[in-house]
Homo-oligomer: A and B are copies of this chain.
Amino acid sequence: MKYPLGKEPNKTKEKIINYSNRGMDLESDINITNEYYRSIDKAFIYKKPTPIQVVKVDYSKNKKITEAYFKESSTTDYNGIYKGKYIDFEAKVTNTLSFPLRNIKNHQIEHLIKVKEHDGISFIIVRFEKTSENYLLETSKLEEVLKEKLKTIKLEYFKENGYLIPIKYKERTDYLEIIDNLYGDIL
């Protein structure tokens, strides 16, 4: 069969990004929580935009970007201010009962350690999809695992060394409650 433009239609592997139905994911929960913190003037913590290398822009079409590539983040995804303190964290999801450390880039771990050393508050949040639980693990506890040269962190380690983040109606993952309990005396 011949097509009018000389090629088969719709054979491209281009995909339209679907932004709907993301209400249940961790990123969305954290963003909603951060919006709530801002709305009650509690903390100003944002997700950093995904870094993208722009190659071509069509200025005739409303500054449409026509060629670009995802880049690797230089730091973690979330940072901001809470009671004068610098807050910095990375959030990840695992669908097994352990968290593979390869999910966090080395330079991200180094960044979390730097923040801790410079008197900021840094941690990771890991969602275990199987148990529908979110845990906060401080960078110091993450470093202990790294010293053991383990490749994964088991859920038990999070239960023993991390903190289960309460799920609330408005603060869908209220990690600042954990931070208050941990650092209340210096905040």
Contacts from A to B (Cβ < 8 Å):
12-17, 41, 43-44, 46, 48-52, 54-71, 73-75, 79-88, 111, 114-115, 118-120
Contact = CB atoms under 8 A, between A and B. Distances in A.
A172 B154 CA distance: 46
Given A13-B60, A17-B55, A64-B68, 4 more contacts: A15-B58, A48-B49, A68-B68, A79-B80
B58 A69 contact: no
B44 A111 contact: yes
A173 to B, nearest CB: 19
A65 B46 CA distance: 24
A84 B119 contact: yes
Of A57, A58, A114, A115, most buried by chain B (CB within 10 Å of CB) is A57
